[in-house]
Structure formats: structure tokens, C-alpha cells
């Protein structure tokens, strides 16, 4: 176990190093000069040169990368070029909406997706299974923002069940917080439910023909217990893997959903930062997102042995 953990941590560190290098080069290779952007349109060449040397932009790339990497490790993400506030503070302010939306989406889609998949596996080619085929074909094909505007048009503008857009912090008004998040959560969950339900179904189908399931049926275990206890426990590992891999997909969806519903989260932050060429923010958000993805997948890898004790490292 310890051996595995060390190996896994080292490969995680290597992935993060490569991501860092990629993000670092992406921004240094760009045609725009950050110093000129900070200085503004009216700056003289001397001012720009001053800013360049202050930011260390004249040093060799390797030196710049080492310094940059060290700062990231120490969570010193620098200041926004535009608002001059520390990037960490800006990220902190935008974290709550994004985490609320992602967490609600995960809760909704994992619970619905797993149950849907199990029920579809109960009778292959049955009504539930066929409806899942249709649902997943649509779920994978309808883009997040198209689904979003359909839901807004029907449920917010037409039926007036929900507010059209916006976000209220949870500590201000929890009821408004949840009503404003319901539509975005459903929007973002549609494709994720399809993904989880499909993998649950195919993983369940593989398990359902095993001997121990037949034994359980023969000794009269209720169907619900067989499906949700005996079979699902053994079908769980691939489902967990897909949930982990889907996190990157989820983050992409969050950015678009935040734009559709005008939610001031991390997604809006980076879209605005990209329009302003606010390099420290772009770097901060990219590193944060890939860090979250890598960390979640590490935790998922380590938790396999919890659902399936046969897996040991």
C-alpha cells in the first residue's frame, strides 16, 4: 500500500509538473507582451522595460519557470494585472458558486445516474433500458448551453418556477441559493447522468451473470438487495473511474453553465481574465482546475479498495 501510494504520488507530481510547464509555456509563447499590457496604452518604452525587469521577464525561461513553479508550490499566485488584487483572494471569492454548482451536480448525477443504470440493467432491452438508450443519446448530443436555454425558456421564462439567472451566496439566503441553482444543476447534470447511467448499466450487466448472483436469487434474496447490494458493490469500480475522469468534463461544463446563468464563479473569472489577458489569473485557474482533477482522481484510485476489498496495492 505504502509503496503504491509513493509511486502514485510521484506520478501525480510528474503530471502536475508537466501541466505547469505547459501552462507556463502557453502564456510565455503568446505574442502579447504582458509588460506592455500592464503598462497600458500610453506607456513609454522605458516604463515597459522597467516593468519587464521588475517582473523578471528578461531572465532566461528556465529561471523564470523555476521561480514560477516555486511560487505556485507556495501558493503565491501573484496579483491580477487588471485589478491588482492577489489571485488567491480572487479565486477564493469565486470558489463558492463554482463548488456549490459542481457539488450539487455531482450529488444529483451520481444518485440519479447510478439508480437509472441499475434499473436499466434489471431488464436488458426492457422499457427502462430503452429509455436510457434514448436519454443518453440525447444527453451526449445536446450541448450544455442549448439544454440550458431550453430549460430557462420553459421553466424560468414560461412557467416562472425558477429565477432566470444569477447567484445568491448561501449565507445570505439559503432558499434563494438553492432555487437559483436548481436549473443550472439540472443543465449540467444531463450529460453526466447519461455517462454514469451507461457505465453503471454495462458494468452491472457483466456482474449479473456471475454465479454468486444466481446463488443469491436461488436462496430468495429480495431483488432490490441483489441489485443494490450484491451486484452494485462489484460493479462499482468502473463507475468510480468514470466519475473521476468526468471531472475535467464537468469543469468545462461549469464554465459554460456559469455563462448561461450568469453565475459569478471560477468559470466567469477565467473567461473575463482571458479577454483581458490577465495572465496570473489564467495560470491560477488552470493550475487550480487541473490540481483538483488530479487530486480527485488520486483519491478515487485510493478508494477502490474501500468498495472492493479484493483490490490491494
Partner 1 sequence: MASSNGLSELGPQEPGLKFIGWKVALRNPKLVIGTLLLVALIALAVFAPLIAGDPLALDPFRRLQKPSSELLLGADHLGRDVFARTVFGGRVSLLVGLASAGCAIIFGLIIGILAGYSHRVDAIVMRLMDGVMSLPTILLAIAMVAISGGGIGILVIAIMIPQIPSVARLVRSVVLSTKQLPFVEAAVCAGARTPRILLRHILPSTVAPLIVQSAYVCANAILTEAGLSFLGAGVPPEIPSWGNMISASRIYLPVAPWSVFAPGIALAAMVLAVNLLGDGIRIAVDPKSRRR
Interface pick for partner 1 out of 55, 99, 142, 300 (rule CB under 8 A): 142
Residue 101 makes contact with partner 1 by CB under 8 A: no
Instruction: Please report how close the Cβ of residue 73 comes to partner 1 at its closest, in angstroms.
Output: 17
59-84: b or e for each residue (b if 16 or more CB lie within 10 Å)?
eeeeebbeebeeebeeeebbbbbbee
- What's the angle, vertex CA 249, arms to CA 246 and CA 250, rounded to 5? 85
Residue 197: closest CA among 237, 243, 234: 243
Residue 124 and residue 130: Cα distance in Å, rounded? 8
Q: Which is nearer to partner 1, 34 or 236 (CB)?
A: 34
Residue 199 and residue 235: Cα distance in Å, rounded? 9
Neighbours of 22 (CB within 10 A): 12
Cα dihedral 94/284/270/21 (nearest 10): -160
- What's the angle, vertex CA 180, arms to CA 177 and CA 184, rounded to 5? 120
When computed from its CA atoms, the radius of gyration of the chain, rounded to whole angstroms, is: 24
Q: Which is nearer to partner 1, 128 or 178 (CB)?
A: 128
Instruction: Please report how close the Cβ of residue 228 comes to partner 1 at its closest, in angstroms.
Output: 20
* DSSP run (H or E) holding 170: none
Q: Which of residues 186-215 bind partner 1 (CB under 8 A)?
A: 198, 202, 205
**Binding segment for partner 1 among 65-73, 105-113, 143-151, 220-228 (CB under 8 A)?**
143-151
Residue 153 makes contact with partner 1 by CB under 8 A: yes
Instruction: Please report how close the Cβ of residue 219 comes to partner 1 at its closest, in angstroms.
Output: 27
Binding-site string for partner 1 from residue 252 to residue 291, where x marks contact by CB under 8 A and - marks none: x--xx--xx---------xx--xx-x----x--xx--xx-
Q: Which of residues 32-71 bind partner 1 (CB under 8 A)?
A: 32
Residue 145 and residue 134: Cα distance in Å, rounded? 20
Interface pick for partner 1 out of 65, 82, 135, 145 (rule CB under 8 A): 145
**Binding segment for partner 1 among 29-37, 102-110, 211-219, 304-312 (CB under 8 A)?**
29-37
Q: Which of residues 234-253 bind partner 1 (CB under 8 A)?
A: 245, 248-249, 251-252
* DSSP run (H or E) holding 122: helix 87-122
Instruction: Please report how close the Cβ of residue 284 comes to partner 1 at its closest, in angstroms.
Output: 12
Residue 93 and residue 70: Cα distance in Å, rounded? 24
Tell me which residues touch partner 1 (CB under 8 A).
11, 14-16, 18-19, 22, 26-27, 29-32, 124, 137-138, 140-146, 149-150, 152-153, 157, 198, 202, 205, 245, 248-249, 251-252, 255-256, 259-260, 270-271, 274-275, 277, 282, 285-286, 289-290, 293-294, 297
Amino acid at each position: 500500500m505504502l509503496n503504491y501510494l509513493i509511486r502514485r504520488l510521484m506520478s501525480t507530481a510528474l503530471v502536475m509538473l508537466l501541466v505547469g510547464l505547459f501552462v507556463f509555456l502557453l502564456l510565455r509563447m503568446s505574442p502579447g507582451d504582458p509588460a506592455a499590457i500592464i503598462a497600458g496604452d500610453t506607456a513609454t518604452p522605458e516604463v515597459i522595460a522597467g516593468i519587464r525587469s521588475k517582473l523578471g521577464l528578461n531572465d532566461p525561461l528556465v529561471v523564470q519557470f523555476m521561480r514560477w513553479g516555486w511560487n505556485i508550490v507556495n501558493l503565491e499566485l501573484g496579483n491580477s494585472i487588471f485589478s491588482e488584487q492577489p489571485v488567491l483572494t480572487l479565486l477564493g471569492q469565486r470558489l463558492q458558486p463554482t463548488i456549490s454548482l459542481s457539488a450539487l451536480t455531482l450529488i444529483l448525477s451520481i444518485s440519479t445516474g447510478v439508480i437509472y443504470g441499475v434499473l436499466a440493467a434489471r431488464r436488458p432491452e426492457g422499457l427502462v433500458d430503452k429509455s436510457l438508450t434514448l436519454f443518453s443519446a440525447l444527453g451526449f448530443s445536446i450541448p450544455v448551453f442549448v439544454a440550458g436555454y431550453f430549460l430557462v425558456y420553459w421553466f424560468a421564462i414560461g412557467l416562472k418556477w425558477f429565477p432566470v439567472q444569477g447567484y445568491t451566496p448561501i449565507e445570505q439566503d439559503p432558499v434563494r441559493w438553492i432555487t437559483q441553482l436548481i436549473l443550472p444543476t439540472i443543465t449540467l447534470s444531463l450529460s453526466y447522468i447519461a455517462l454514469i447511467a451507461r457505465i453503471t448499466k454495462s458494468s452491472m450487466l457483466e456482474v449479473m451473470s456471475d454465479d454468486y448472483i444466481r446463488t443469491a436469487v436461488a436462496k430468495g434474496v429480495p431483488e432490490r438487495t441483489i441489485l443494490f447490494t450484491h451486484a452494485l458493490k462489484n460493479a462499482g469500480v468502473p463507475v468510480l473511474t468514470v466519475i473521476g475522469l468526468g471531472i475535467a468534463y464537468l469543469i468545462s461544463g461549469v464554465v459554460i453553465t456559469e455563462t448561461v446563468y450568469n453565475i459569478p464563479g471560477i468559470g466567469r473569472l477565467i473567461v473575463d481574465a482571458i479577454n483581458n489577458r490577465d495572465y496570473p489569473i489564467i495560470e491560477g485557474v488552470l493550475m487550480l482546475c487541473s490540481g483538483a482533477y488530479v487530486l480527485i482522481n488520486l483519491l478515487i484510485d485510493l478508494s477502490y479498495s474501500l468498495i472492493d476489498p479484493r483490490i490491494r496495492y
